[in-house]
Amino acid sequence: MTDRQIWQTWSKTVRCRPARWIVPRVEGQIVEAVCAAAEDGLGVRVAGAGHSFNQLACTEGLLLDLSRHTGVLDIDRRAMTVTVRGGTHLAEVSAALDRAGMALANIGTLDTQSVAGAISTGNHGTGIAHRPFSSQVAALRLVAADGSVLVLDEAADPDLLACARTALGALGVISTVTLRCVPSFSLRSVPGSERLEDVLGRFEEWAHSADHVAMTWLPWTEEVSTQAWHRTDDPPTQGARRLRYATTVDEMRCGLAGFAGRWSPASVPRIKRLLSSGGPVEYVDASHRVFSFPQPVKFLALEHALALDAVPEALRHLRVALRRFGAYSPYSVLVRVGAADESPLSPAFGRATGYINLTVPRTARYTEVLRTAEHLLRDLDGRPHWGKAHTATAEVLRPRYPQWDQFQRVRGKLDPGGLFCNEYIGRVLGPVDAARQVYA
């Protein structure tokens, strides 16, 4: 147990003071801590790397901090899988796989988050053929509320595994994860620039135009920066590792513009123009270094998953709303795409998806901007990212998830007493009791 008192998220916008804070290194210590908390009447939440933007991991009971429950346990070249402890950062997994000539098929922009945290929140990268990160899970070990260890794999328990791989930590503690891998591959990163309306006019075609695509848009402009990543056998570009930092440097400029614009958010576009420099360049590198980049600047983010064909309408509405607001964020709106998923609580459940992400400085003024965007995206049947800022409740969310009831049935079975509940889980999933009454 540590003597630290206050736990806080990466963005330092959410904090809590757990009654008990345990940093397990092995599964036995997780089981012991869960059983002791249940006996003492303490709720349990798990923290991975703390990169969520909301109260997900917060608790006044037991905080199981998995920052030391790390390490790659096995790489199976025949089965093309890797097994890791839940707290292992994606960067460590990618580096170990790289040495073995293997890779993860797709990851998001951040590799300093834990594997279990990423899968639990529906984390995703981009690519129209790619489901969210948790779809790469082949098996996992889950410590349930009664201290039993469930070994879930896709052959024996496909339905249970589908629930457990996007579960917000509400079903138990993920001790280890086995991920499916692919042979290592390189990507050619090709930046571009287009008129927003031109991309929106052929949005689905654009979404299919490369293995992975993304676009970023400053809402006071009519242009978007596009990014396409194509698989290639070409060798890495000289200096590729340095080129990867272009986006990091750009985010630092955004941080600076956000700071300067604190006193006058309306002047952010002018400050951005003053700070602008040459954009990103084309390069080739190993996939994991192309997908992600270091992100030292703190911010707040909101992201919604929409049906792919709803994205153009959403961006047009956002253009009007954000311009009316006048408090521009220095960070671009980010649009990514993905395939339909089958995990009941996956924001990509059942539909090809477009993800719209808004990043803002951490000030009250911008919280209002996020609120406006949230309501607009919600009206277009958007599903919020479980790990990002949002205000949705179970009443709002339930109709958006066709297999909500199946998830609640599993929740009622694995955690009948609500041991893994906190205020956030109560808000977004409802109480376990209600789940049991409705779904018994």
Ligand X SMILES: Cc1cc2nc3c(=O)[nH]c(=O)nc-3n(C[C@H](O)[C@H](O)[C@H](O)COP(=O)(O)OP(=O)(O)OC[C@H]3O[C@@H](n4cnc5c(N)ncnc54)[C@H](O)[C@@H]3O)c2cc1C
Neighbours of 379 (CB within 10 A): 10
- Closer CB to ligand X, residue 319 or residue 377? 377
> For residue 99, with 0-12 CB atoms within 10 Å meaning exposed, 13-18 middle and 19 or more buried, which class applies?
exposed
Residue 62 CB, nearest distance to ligand X (Å)? 13
C-alpha–C-alpha distance, residues 306 and 308, integer Å: 6
Neighbours of 31 (CB within 10 A): 19
According to CB under 6 A, which one of 184, 267, 295, 372 is a site residue for ligand X? 295
What's the N-to-C CA distance of the chain in angstroms?
38
Is 421 a binding residue for ligand X by CB under 6 A? The answer is no
Residue 55 CB, nearest distance to ligand X (Å)? 9
Between residue 371 and residue 400, which ones bind ligand X under the rule CB under 6 A? 385, 387
Residue 327 CB, nearest distance to ligand X (Å)? 22
* Residue 312: partners with Cβ closer than 8 Å, 6 or more residues away: 200, 201, 203
According to CB under 6 A, which one of 124, 188, 244, 272 is a site residue for ligand X? 124
C-alpha–C-alpha distance, residues 419 and 417, integer Å: 6
According to CB under 6 A, which one of 33, 116, 210, 243 is a site residue for ligand X? 116
C-alpha–C-alpha distance, residues 395 and 410, integer Å: 19
The two tokens of residue 17 are 């003071």
Rounded to 10°, the helix 404-414/432-439 angle is: 110
- Closer CB to ligand X, residue 176 or residue 403? 176
According to CB under 6 A, which one of 18, 86, 219, 361 is a site residue for ligand X? 86
Counting residues that bind ligand X (by CB under 6 A) gives 32
Residue 355 CB, nearest distance to ligand X (Å)? 8
Stretch that binds ligand X, among 47-55, 145-153, 179-187, 228-236 (CB under 6 A): 47-55
**Shortest CA distance to 131 belongs to which of 342, 421, 377, 416?**
342
Residue 101 CB, nearest distance to ligand X (Å)? 25
C-alpha–C-alpha distance, residues 435 and 128, integer Å: 34
Stretch that binds ligand X, among 105-113, 210-218, 370-378, 402-410 (CB under 6 A): 105-113
Hunting for tokens 């409740």 — which residue is that? Answer: 393
- Closer CB to ligand X, residue 288 or residue 319? 288
Based on its alpha-carbon atoms, the radius of gyration of the chain, rounded to whole angstroms, reads 21
Residues 168-197, one symbol each (x = binds ligand X by CB under 6 A, - = not), give: xx---xx-----------------------
Q: Chain centroid to CA 418: how far?
A: 24
Is 51 a binding residue for ligand X by CB under 6 A? The answer is yes
User: What residue ranges bind ligand X (CB under 6 A)?
Assistant: 10, 45-52, 56-57, 66, 86, 108-110, 113-114, 116-118, 120-121, 123-124, 168-169, 173-174, 295, 385, 387
